[in-house]
Amino acid sequence: MNTPLSRVPSLHSSAVRFLFFLAATLATLAAEPNPLAVAHNERGLPAELAAAKRVVFLGDSITYAGTYVDFIETVIRTRTPGWKGEIIDLGLSSETVSGLSEPGHARGKFPRPDLHERLARILAQTKPDVVVACYGMNDGIYFPLAEERFAKFRDGMTRLRAAVVAAGATIIHITPPVFDPLPIAAKLLPAGRESYPTPFAGYNEVLARYSAWLVAQRAQGWDVIDAHNPMAAAIAHRRQTDPVFTFSKDGVHPDTAGHAAIAHAILAAWGLQPDKNELLVTLTANPDTPLLRLIRERRKLVMAAWLTATGHQRPGVSAGLPLAEAELKAAAIETKIRELK
Q: How many CB atoms lie within 10 A of CB 214?
A: 23
Contact 97, 135 (CB under 8 A): yes
**Mean pLDDT computed over 26-39:** 45
Report the distance separating Cα 181 and Cα 203, nearest Å. 8
Residue 44 confidence (pLDDT): 73
| Domains, the chain, with CATH or none | 14-295 (3.40.50.1110)
DSSP notation for 276-317? GGGHHHHHHH-TT-HHHHHHHHHHHHHHHHHHHHH----TTP
Report the distance separating Cα 156 and Cα 158, nearest Å. 5
Whole-structure pTM value: 0.90
Residue 277 confidence (pLDDT): 86
Report the distance separating Cα 310 and Cα 13, nearest Å. 44
137 pLDDT higher than 90: yes
Reported as a pLDDT band with limits 50, 70 and 90, residue 30 is: very low
Residue 96 confidence (pLDDT): 99
> What's the pLDDT tens digit per position in 161-195?
999 999 999 999 999 999 999 999 999 999 999 99
Share in percent of the chain as helix, strand, coil (round to 5)? 50, 10, 40
Contact 134, 118 (CB under 8 A): no
Q: How far is CA 77 from CA 26, 51, 202, 340, in A?
A: 22, 14, 39, 11
